[in-house]
């Protein structure tokens, strides 16, 4: 079997890393993989096992030329199937390219953004099957009119191994300039509106009054960085909030957090939450999208209504004041990741869909 994968993301965020897991896992099953990605992207510099990387121009939703470039690649390489892994034009233009070249096409949908029933009826004709990374996203598509036999859930996975090693607390505090007795909450997400950083900043003054040792590390980059930094300064929170940027060495440090906070308005599943659970870090997050699948309320963390600052603050306060509860949730989260979110299960799920589409 030969598969052409298309990933249009420029950075190695959660979705792009899932693509690397998939192609390497498929290669171990004897599948030949070709990976098309943007020239100059972090993905283009990767060398996943058993995969040939083709860097090409990918200009996003407005780049109509992606259709002809991808169609030419499909005709030249003659894959059995095209798997589109992202948006940024790869979904629509990639689907059109596969149709033009007469090759079956599968789309992975990683977000729970709503679409109109008309858009779903038109756009999703391009795909032979849709794979969602959470049941929550699958239910969104079903509610918008996509037939149940054309969409399957194959959950994202996490390589737990890098997160299992204990973190040296002294080294952790030194790395991020924190006092030794700090109570550390982390946010691991792109700095974009739907990740909900503003809710945490709104809850923070009251939390600091109860927990003066509380520090917040904001991991990630994005267009909201300047705005969030200004908000932190204006609120007098600069001593408690630290922006760390995007960290390639996150697996080394994630387990140093006392809790992870992810107050997103919308989320497909939340790979950073799976990583935090693998690192035995308890989680406070929203009851939105696929997040209730990533975090079991009252077992591995606490779920709050999206946008509810008071509920978010209360959940953080509860975990901040109870070390034993944090330890229990963290241990349960790690056990669940090892049991339910393996890379092998995700790879097998994708391969099953390929065989179904190809009639094998």
pLDDT in tens, 96-135: 999 999 999 999 999 888 889 998 899 999 999 999 999 9
Largest Cα span, the chain: 64
Give the per-residue pLDDT at 47: 87
User: Residue 291 is encoded by which pair of tokens?
Assistant: 């997040």
Evaluate if residue 272 carries a pLDDT over 80.
yes
Evaluate if residue 149 carries a pLDDT over 90.
yes
Strand partners, 35: 5, 53
Give the per-residue pLDDT at 15: 86
Lowest mean pLDDT of 45-49, 53-57, 190-194, name the range: 45-49
- Average pLDDT in the 225-237 region? 97
Residue that the structure tokens 């995007």 belong to:
246
d(CA 14, CA 189): 9
Give the per-residue pLDDT at 190: 94
Give the per-residue pLDDT at 87: 84
- Average pLDDT in the 330-344 region? 94
Q: How confident is the model at residue 263 (pLDDT cuts 50, 70, 90)?
A: very high
Closest CA relative to residue 260, chosen from 249, 270, 246, 268: 270
Give the per-residue pLDDT at 89: 85
- The HSE-up count of residue 332 (CA atoms within 13 Å, CB side) is 17
Residue that the structure tokens 């696929």 belong to:
290
Q: How confident is the model at residue 12 (pLDDT cuts 50, 70, 90)?
A: confident
| Average pLDDT over all residues of the chain | 95
- Average pLDDT in the 64-86 region? 96
Give the per-residue pLDDT at 119: 87
Burial class (CB in 10 A: 0-12, 13-18, 19+), 339: exposed
* 142-154 per-residue burial string, b: 16 or more CB within 10 A, e: under 16: eebebeeeebbbb
Evaluate if residue 11 carries a pLDDT over 90.
no
Evaluate if residue 152 carries a pLDDT over 70.
yes
Tens of pLDDT along 278-331? Answer: 999 999 999 998 999 999 999 999 999 999 999 999 999 999 999 999 999 999
Give the per-residue pLDDT at 242: 98
Evaluate if residue 273 carries a pLDDT over 90.
yes
Between helix 271-278 and helix 323-340 the angle, nearest 10°, is 110
d(CA 240, CA 177): 11
- Average pLDDT in the 217-241 region? 97
Tens of pLDDT along 173-223? Answer: 999 999 999 999 999 999 999 999 999 999 999 999 999 999 999 999 999
DSSP for 24-64, written as a single string: HHHHHTT-EEEEEEETTSTGGG---TTEEEEEE----TT-T
Q: How confident is the model at residue 360 (pLDDT cuts 50, 70, 90)?
A: low
Residue 185 carries which DSSP code? Answer: E
Give the per-residue pLDDT at 86: 85
Q: 170: Cβ–Cβ under 8 A, 6 or more apart, which residues?
A: 180
DSSP for 87-140, written as a single string: -TTHHHHHHHHHHHHT--EEEEE-------HHHHHHHGGG-SEEEESSHHHHHH
């Amino acid at each position: 079997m030969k598969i052409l994968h298309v990933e249009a993301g420029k950075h190695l965020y959660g979705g792009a890393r899932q693509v690397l897991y998939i192609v390497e896992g498929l290669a171990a099953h004897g599948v030949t993989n070709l990976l098309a990605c943007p020239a100059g992207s972090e993905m283009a510099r990767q060398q996943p096992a058993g995969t040939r990387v083709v860097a090409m121009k990918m200009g996003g939703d407005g780049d109509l030329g992606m259709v002809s470039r991808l169609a030419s690649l499909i005709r030249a390489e003659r894959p059995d199937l095209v798997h589109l892994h992202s948006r940024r034009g790869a979904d629509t233009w990639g689907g059109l390219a596969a149709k033009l070249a007469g090759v079956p096409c599968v789309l992975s949908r990683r977000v729970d953004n709503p679409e109109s029933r008309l858009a779903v009826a038109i756009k999703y004709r391009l795909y032979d099957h849709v794979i969602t990374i959470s049941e929550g996203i699958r239910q969104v598509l079903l509610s918008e009119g996509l037939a149940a036999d054309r969409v399957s859930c194959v959950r994202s996975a996490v390589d737990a191994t890098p997160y299992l090693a204990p973190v040296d607390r002294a080294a952790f505090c030194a790395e991020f300039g924190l006092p030794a007795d700090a109570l550390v909450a982390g946010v691991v997400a792109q700095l974009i509106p739907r990740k909900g950083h503003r809710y945490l900043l709104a809850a923070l003054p009251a939390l600091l009054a109860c927990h003066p040792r509380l520090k917040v590390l904001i991991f990630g980059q994005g267009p909201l960085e300047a705005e969030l930094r200004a908000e932190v300064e204006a609120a007098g929170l600069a001593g408690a909030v630290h922006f760390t940027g995007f960290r390639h060495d996150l697996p080394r440090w994630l387990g140093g957090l006392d809790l992870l906070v992810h107050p997103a308005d919308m989320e497909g599943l939340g790979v950073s939450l799976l990583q935090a659970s693998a690192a035995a870090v308890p989680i406070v997050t929203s009851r939105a999208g696929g997040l209730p699948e990533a975090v079991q309320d009252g077992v591995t963390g606490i779920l709050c209504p999206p946008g509810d600052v008071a509920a978010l603050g209360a959940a953080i306060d509860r975990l901040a004041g109870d070390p034993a509860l944090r330890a229990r949730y963290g241990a349960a989260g790690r056990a669940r990741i090892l049991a339910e979110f393996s890379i092998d299960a995700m790879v097998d799920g994708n391969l099953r869909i390929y065989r179904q589409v190809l009639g094998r």
